Amino acid sequence: NPIKSPFEAIGGEDVINRLVDAFYARVSQHPDLSPIFPDDLTETARKQKQFLTQYLGGPNLYTEEHGHPMLRARHMPFEITPKRAKAWLSCMQKAMDEIELDSPLRTEFFHRLVLTAQHMVNTPDDEE
């Protein structure tokens, strides 16, 4: 098949691995995010690599191991506020910069992540 999936077009497994590792390195240092993530992000990163692979049209690695993603439901145990969604997206944007993801697909990929992050929000920001 001469038509590449977005997964292949952005560089496949190697690029997803580098992106997700750079992303969780930032998440673990982010004051709004680190409190809700486990200290050891090894398994979280492994699942995110599987998820983003299939999100971009690559092999369905996440579903093969974990079943339907049901992402919003899987995030319900955590307070996902608009502030945390912004922080998550900021870590992802900086991770894309860090690995120099300059694919023409980057804008579209990031825009889909914005929509998905907004969909995960399940708690309002604190009123101060």
State in angstroms the smallest separation of the CB of 102 from ligand HEM.
Answer: 20
With H, G, I as helix, E, B as strand and everything else as coil, classify residue 38: coil
The encoded tokens of residue 3 equal 């038509």
Residue type, 109: F
Q: Which two tokens stand for residue 114?
A: 């914005």
Residue 105 within binding range of ligand HEM, rule CB under 6 A: no
DSSP state of 41: -
Binding mask 18-57 for ligand HEM (x = CB under 6 A): ---------------x--xxx----xx--xx--x------
Position among 7, 88, 96, 101 found at the interface with ligand HEM (CB under 6 A): 88
81-to-78, 117, 125 alpha-carbon distances in Å: 9, 10, 5
- Which residues of this chain interact with ligand HEM, rule CB under 6 A? 33, 36-38, 43-44, 47-48, 51, 66, 71, 74-75, 78, 80, 84-85, 88, 113, 116-117, 120
